[in-house]
Amino acid sequence: MVRTVLCSLAVSVLGLAGCTASEPADQPRGASATVAVADRTQALWAGRTAYVGDSSKVVALVDAAGFGPRGTYSLALWTTRPPYAVTITLSDTGKPFGTTDLRAPATLLLGTVTNLDTVNVTSAGQTYTLTARQATAALGRDVKTLGTDRAGLEGYVASLDD
């Protein structure tokens, strides 16, 4: 009985050891970053929506844009009349609010929600605001093309990792 249990245990350990994945030595450097860019682009592309009022899609886009994991922020959607806005209230930025770069996630959100005009991010009494007009000027092209041109979206997401 004891011998059977020990043999079963040894076989189980060997089986589990064979299940662990090791990174291939010939995998190109930066390949995981490429996968991360592709995954993030896919999440943003899949979540695109025409309306700020599509709350489930907007929540998914806020996650994919990079404002932090769910539970670290709350959302308020301004959908009554233009300018349409999203206000994201961060409960914990992990670092001082003033040193947190919110431009990229705000730009991604503005680009993937067609009728979104303004993104406001608040934390501890401070506010960061980015409008579609400001994002367009910074990008050098209409920010809304991020939601209509997948290659352009992927290029922008990849540029964030540089």
Q: Is residue 20 part of a domain?
A: no
Of 89-93, 124-128, 129-133, the range with the highest mean pLDDT is: 129-133
Residues spanned by the domain of 43: 33-160
Q: Is residue 12 part of a domain?
A: no
Q: Is residue 58 part of a domain?
A: yes
Q: Is residue 14 part of a domain?
A: no
The number of domains in the chain is 1
pLDDT tens sequence across 142-160 = 999 999 999 999 999 999 9
What does the pLDDT read at residue 145?
97
141 pLDDT exceeds 50?
yes
Q: Is residue 27 part of a domain?
A: no
Q: Is residue 103 part of a domain?
A: yes
Q: Is residue 23 part of a domain?
A: no
The predicted model scores a pTM of 0.78
Q: Is residue 15 part of a domain?
A: no
Task: Compute the CA torsion angle 65, 69, 73, 78 (nearest 10 deg).
Answer: 40
List the Cα angle 35/40/41 in 5-degree steps.
95
